[in-house]
A and B are shown apart, each in its own frame.
Chain A
């Protein structure tokens, strides 16, 4: 029991139920009298609704109800989904849960059928007759702002939702005036579909006798969903809504947001007074889950003769999709523009982002959320700058790194980096990968006419655990960013932990048990972690933005300290010693210098509950709750190196190596941390090489099925080589930073830099992601011709 739990790769507590098929996801629940909802969705990217005839559908045997926006408007529910982050002058057109006069993307829900079974519900959807009048659509964010582009919302002129800037425009102008070298890049950050393997689902059970709604749903943040359901969608009081996130099959951001469909299912249950289940099919999920990225960007860097960066200028058109999703406005602004200093000392930065409505699925946080886009811009520019200056990509990075003794480091784009050692991670990665030998091999291949080798670096910065709440509020968040953590030590000394973080694969039950067991000196099997239930857990903000360990974990660490301090008082009383002489170690309170005079935490817990002999002024019980609001973000960083071979004849890319040295601060469970990195890297490589949500000009999603949208599969990837440096976070009690998104932030830039490095002999500087064989072949082929 004395073994250090914090830092060890213990097996996950979550797994036995998941590997035996006993874990229950939302769709696995079955309630008496349960009915099924199915949505009628717009097949048009942009159309007016002239009429909806539901009569035939309503008459189909087994159908319990068919509803449209008219019915929602007749009810007492407000029936909208709101946006939870506001920017200056932002346009926030209403987003009704069922579209009433106009549909703005393929998949926009116009009616819902509730039936006795899923098959009948689906049959009835085919019988709904919607009279659409299609109008022109626009799907490209840069084109949507042009004169004459189709308008999505009357409120948003030129489809502009917001026009946001950060940094010092004049200082950047001056930097460019004095620059010796300039690097420039125009790029698209490809639109991605999250594709959590479990599609979104909701099972709503409204009890009209109590007015209570129980809502099981695929959620990364049940309290946020409860809040928004209450305020904006259903109009039920918050205390009458019980949201439960059972097992959740991945999220990657897509289950943060508050969508119409889950609200519709709940609303239907309120109408029918029966449990109603809605589960997305994959094609529905891909049409309606908030997508990620979709930027059109021009970026320029000014450098001096030595390759030192003088200034950075970035202009981005960021697609918002048809409506503003829950946290959409924050993603391309405060999670993007603020990250543009990368790991570098950049004296002048200016970034302008135009958020644009398009006839596509809404865009919101997807693993990395703004930070992969920023990293991609900065790291692609660094490689361009290396070419301009003739410096090696590693060398130009080294020349511009924030030095280890410069922390805390204030960037020109608002953030203050807490700690870092960027040189250390780069040096380690170069050594492990054999950087110099690879450069040698690269030269040899060019000389011998062999398939070219490419080496790509990504020295990335990540910002996680968005904080503190007061600052986040001034930036427009309609949410706090602290986290709750409650510990109850039971009379027998076993422990239940309640966290506002809401895991969906990250392994909180294990790592949070480790944190608490380690602090309290009890066995990890003596700790139970409860999450994802608004009736059990104090209000919390959930799991996203790589915040759970740094914020939720810290809340538990502070609660554990509170328990120990109370325990110390009781122990001192029982041991008849002065409180300041009582030490706590490995689960035992003992008098300093007299280890035999001791009380185990279990004994103290029993005393606390019996309350027969408590010191004066001490309440019975042994429990503590903390609402932990961090002082700052945390800033993980690292160096990723991709090594590839390109086959010029077909444009195919072969990944030869992928090596990552990450610094995520202290590590609670190395096995879990490595797993997070593996998954993140794989998703980033998916973006770089295969994945793209493609809309045609009418707003049809051309890659909406897994037949067209290529997710990485086992045979497309190899093993990633991982290593770490450890620079603890200085401002939280655990010294942890966060790891959920690092892989996805770093890897697209590493991969694209590697391929462009391989293609440098052909004079190719840039190809937009995904780097499909034809695009690579075409680039080589066209250079060959010219």
Chain B
């Protein structure tokens, strides 16, 4: 309940934050704090310095960049859930953000913090992967984009290097004829996803599936993109039985996680059930 001592620095701009980050070994970046502060209260981490980036203007906002959408790292779950731009062009992300935890947490928690924390039960990672989003990492003097699919390395572990701050996430708008959906079985205590399925389905003029992305939270240590399912269903007319067959034959998630609430076997089963429901709903929305 009582965090250990640390030094606190409030950054006014990105450059200042990056400088401080470079100068202070053992510093951690504080955004909404809804992943970091609980960890400090449990004394699972004892950073010497916290660099508060929450007021940095460049990290805020949700905007269009042509066919792409850019979400600043500091966009809160509430802002994402309520964003008309996202609801219109990327419903799955707004839907997932609206299902995170509870209103108070959504008012503070940020997309940047969420992705950087890389909790396997979190709702946004699989959506980022399904969107094939690019995650922008900025360090002092350099900037790089990492594909969401390559960003998550292991439980609570990402591609981010020391000195880097996650500054934004960008992805293509979902084009006309695309439907998307996020569904989850929520842990009754924590609210985390026991299994979350993010589905994006694009139909061509004839109603056939031209593109399909399906990714899961909660089942494995990192978000799992079901590429074999995409291959099986792209080009199909995406009838219910097509979906069932593809999920039956082509969905294999290695190393499922298990705990006392839900075993790995059960999570794998849930993945099929929730994938089927999310794909059907995404398909119906695409029509």
Contacts and interface: CB of A to CB of B under 8 A. Distances in A.
Given A703-B260, A777-B266, A777-B269, A119 B189 contact: no
B143 interface: no
A703 B262 CA distance: 14
Contacts of A122: 1-2
A702 B187 contact: no
B2 A709 contact: no
A119 B2 contact: yes
B263 interface: yes
B266 A690 contact: no
Contacts of B1: 122, 281-282
A710 B188 contact: yes
A703 B1 CA distance: 17
Chain B interface, >50% SS class: loop
A709 B185 contact: no
A702 B190 CA distance: 14
Interface in B203-227: none
A778 B266 contact: yes
B185 A711 contact: no
Given A649-B273, A650-B273, A694-B260, A707 B2 contact: no
Interface in A695-744: 702-703, 706-711, 713, 716
B116 interface: no
B285 interface: no
Given A650-B185, A706-B189, A707-B190, A774 B261 contact: yes
B189 A711 contact: yes
Contact of B43 (A126, A703, A709, A772): A126
B273 to A, nearest CB: 5
Contacts of B262: 772-774
Contacts of A238: none
B185 to A, nearest CB: 7
B14 to A, nearest CB: 31
A13 interface: no
Interface string B1-37: 1111100000000000000000000000000000000
B270 interface: yes
A118 interface: yes
A730 B1 CA distance: 51
Nearest to A651: B266
Interface in A120-138: 122-123, 126
Contacts of B260: 694, 702-703, 708
B266 A774 contact: yes
Contacts of A710: 187-189
Interface residues of A, number: 28
A123 B4 contact: yes
Which of A281, A708, A709 is most buried by chain B, counting CB atoms within 10 A of its CB?
Answer: A708
B189 A773 contact: no
A61 to B, nearest CB: 12
Interface in A273-326: 281-282
A485 B22 CA distance: 69
Given A126-B43, A650-B185, A772 B261 contact: yes
Contact of B189 (A650, A708, A778): A708
A107 to B, nearest CB: 15
Contacts of B4: 123
B251 to A, nearest CB: 15
A642 to B, nearest CB: 18
> B5, B260, B261 — which one has the most chain A CB atoms within 10 A of its CB?
B261
Contacts of A649: 273
A650 B188 contact: no
B184 to A, nearest CB: 12
A281 B3 CA distance: 13
Contacts of B269: 777
Contacts of B2: 118-119, 122-123
B74 to A, nearest CB: 25
Contacts of A690: 188-189
Nearest to A774: B266
A702 B1 CA distance: 19
A689 B189 CA distance: 12
A707 B185 contact: no
Nearest to A694: B260
Contact of B263 (A118, A282, A774): A774
A83 B266 CA distance: 44
A765 B104 CA distance: 42
Contacts of A709: 189
A286 to B, nearest CB: 12
28 contacts: A119-B3, A119-B5, A122-B2, A123-B2, A123-B4, A123-B5, A281-B1, A282-B1, A650-B185, A650-B273, A689-B188, A690-B189, A702-B260, A703-B189, A707-B189, A708-B189, A708-B190, A708-B260, A709-B189, A710-B188, A713-B188, A716-B188, A772-B261, A772-B262, A773-B185, A773-B266, A774-B261, A774-B263
Interface of B: 1-5, 43, 185, 187-190, 260-263, 266, 269-270, 273
